[in-house]
Chains A and B, each alone.
Chain A
């Protein structure tokens, strides 16, 4: 009764019933791995909420002020307003530390969810036509995630993040020709410069979140417009969508996932300490602390910086800074490869047809192999970011670890990529359902196929004629065929 009354009133004013009707009945493909993007989005929502709370307390200025609060060792000390307001938020504002910590945990979870989601999209080939634009939007979101995270934890002007800022300044300086100007323009002068704090603040609370929100909306709209891809299976073709309706089960489930993500952020924020800036101390010229690491989503760059040997060749009479290759070329190349991947794959497979049926990883063994190789490479770089901590707690000399990882980072990815390739091929050709069911002969089949396939350049994918007609459905499924438009 009440619902009908509400719907009536809404319709009188907004005329939304037709749209709501289509929307609520909308059919979409459903698989657990399709929920990862949702997890990332909800982490972003929590970041916006908790971040807004933080902006009511945080003062981004580096002007010196006297801290007078509950943290005794700092009481009466003259520190920057950014640092003082952060310590005050942590020690003197009720619930302030929970919000601050949960915000930081949410950032780590957000970056992780984005990467896992990207991996899912990659391994299922969901970036193929017509979703190439959405892939580019997603990669841009990944880039902004890293920028948002870095600017965020560098805001409190503490010693740990200041060391990271030093490194960031050096990264800019190491760029040939334009590096010195770039560094000076971004920082407003020589390190630390007077302006970096307020510029990072504006980037972190306005520019980057605004752009990310817009891109996430675009990202979601493109998914809705083109409909989500689906795994091949009973009744599924390239031209239909098989799955549940949005309302009510899936919408309520989505709400549940939102609360689950927020719950995890809050529980971690209250129960596990993260980034205790009062211990790290304020930034002071000449001070340092060990160990010093960035957050994990920059760990692969930091690991590369630790592993790359001390080469500084002379090019055209100029000294090429050591940091250029590991901290500019490597990340630049990574993102370039990510952006270009759909194009590169299209050039390799000559497959220009639109795809709405997703691949299982085994359906495209080369892509799977390359993906596993890349993941291993970046995972090893990330592990290298913690070598000094590993050395501290295992007693293994740090340079022994550096030597092992230098070799490992170049060899292990090739090994894991090859293993993934062989396994994927074996699964595909033996028809086994999963790895545990595959026999040795299936594995050998995957290995042997390699020589035959190398000589073939696939001109067309496997014939899809049989996929256009949906196969006969068993009686007990009883699907309802729905035309787009008003539901009968």
Chain B
């Protein structure tokens, strides 16, 4: 293609880009939405790009040249001079000043690291205590996030519900999943967890023991809880023991009871460590 033709193409690109830019402004003013505005501005930039690339490829002078690389390494003379200059002002040969300065520097550096401890927000409990405690207490009732209290009769067989300790709907580590199974299934020899159940209603910590995601999926037919993050599967009839996936521990069970008004209450705390495993005594 002749130079003149390429020039016309490049000019055409820039003109079209200008038109798109105007279109973009119009689109913005009439609020035509993200597709029109984004599309037009993007098209404008693309046309400018095309014009520039064509221009550089076809119209601008090019060539192959040779140049020497900068001297690869400083000469020995330079290195000697630098070493000698660095040694200027060396006062004592015992290195007393150097060593004490180093000591001061290291101590200061170590000291400065210590205030990182303040990153722990004031009012926050010690990690080991915070991780081993939740807001469940014996006799505490359970509520949904909306605030409704739960009675045993509210759940049919096959129902599932997420609950929190009454008064603590924001407590992430206390999130609990209730499922109701047929009580006869819990009486089978292979089943476990019947001791903490009420009328076939079981309660487990909702936090996956693998990486802490809420285990939200309850499969009614197989009585399994599936975690969406890394596909850990827990068997509800076997005290939420992991049967597949990367979790290494069962979901801790929350024993249940019924209070005198008929509401479901916790009959103790979670039986086991809640949430993902951390480094602690086995």
Could you list which residues of chain A lie within 8 angstroms of chain B, going by C-beta atoms? Answer: 26-27, 94-95, 97-98, 101-102, 130, 163, 166-167, 169-171, 173-177, 179-181, 183-186, 188-195, 225-227, 235, 239-245, 248-250, 252-253, 255-260, 262-271, 284-292, 302, 305-312, 314, 317-323, 326, 354, 356, 387-388, 398-399, 402, 470, 477, 479-484
Contacts and interface: CB of A to CB of B under 8 A. Distances in A.
Nearest to B229: A292
Contacts of B102: none
Given A256-B53, A257-B49, A322 B248 contact: yes
A292 B228 contact: yes
A170 B276 contact: yes
A312 to B, nearest CB: 3
A195 B120 CA distance: 9
- Which of B31, B37, B277 gathers most chain A CB within 10 Å? B277
B148 to A, nearest CB: 14
B46 A285 contact: no
Contact of B124 (A98, A190, A192): A190
A240 B66 contact: yes
Contacts, number: 311
Given A169-B276, A252-B56, 15 more contacts: A170-B210, A179-B279, A235-B66, A240-B69, A249-B61, A250-B56, A264-B42, A266-B45, A285-B172, A292-B228, A311-B248, A321-B278, A322-B210, A322-B248, A483-B67
Given A180-B127, A310-B245, A188 B120 contact: yes
B153 interface: no
- Which of B57, B128, B214, B217 gathers most chain A CB within 10 Å? B214
Contact of B49 (A180, A189, A260, A287): A260
B169 interface: yes
B246 to A, nearest CB: 5
Given A188-B124, A235-B66, A285-B175, A319 B280 contact: yes
A252 to B, nearest CB: 4
Contacts of A170: 210-212, 275-276
A281 B275 CA distance: 23
The 6 closest A-B pairs by CB, nearest first: A270-B38, A290-B228, A256-B52, A312-B248, A266-B42, A267-B42
A185 B114 CA distance: 12
Contact of A288 (B45, B68, B216, B282): B216
Nearest to A322: B248
A310 B248 contact: yes
Contact of B62 (A173, A235, A249): A249
Interface string B20-37: 000000001001001111
A96 to B, nearest CB: 9
Interface string B90-131: 000000000000000000000000001101110011011011
Contacts of A255: 52
A267 B43 contact: yes
A437 to B, nearest CB: 26
A286 B175 contact: yes
- Which of A252, A264, A284, A322 gathers most chain B CB within 10 Å? A322
Contacts of B278: 173-174, 179-180, 183, 321
Contacts of B45: 259-260, 262-263, 266
A240 B71 CA distance: 10
B230 A305 contact: yes
- Sorting the interface of chain B by its residue count into under 10, 10 to 19, 20 to 34 or 35 or more gives 35 or more
Contact of A98 (B37, B72, B215): B37
A244 B63 CA distance: 5
A300 B231 CA distance: 16
B248 A191 contact: no
B53 A286 contact: no
A289 B228 contact: yes
Contacts of B249: 312
Contacts of B128: 180
Interface in B37-89: 37-39, 41-46, 48-53, 55-57, 60-70, 72
A258 B46 CA distance: 10
A260 B42 contact: no
A470 B66 CA distance: 11
B171 interface: yes
B41 A270 contact: yes
- Which of A183, A195, A240, A267 gathers most chain B CB within 10 Å? A267
Contacts of B173: 190-191
Nearest to A236: B66
Nearest to B45: A263
Contacts of B43: 263, 267
Contacts of A479: 64-66
Contacts of A163: 213-214, 228-229
Nearest to B133: A190
Nearest to B278: A173
B82 to A, nearest CB: 18
B281 interface: yes
Nearest to B226: A290
A482 B276 contact: no
Contact of B230 (A26, A248, A302): A302
B170 interface: yes
Given A269-B42, A318-B282, A322-B210, A312 B52 contact: no
B70 A225 contact: yes
A263 B50 CA distance: 10
Interface in B220-241: 227-232
Contacts of B124: 184, 188-190, 193
Contact of B279 (A258, A269, A291, A320): A320
Contacts of A239: 68-69, 72
A255 B66 CA distance: 24
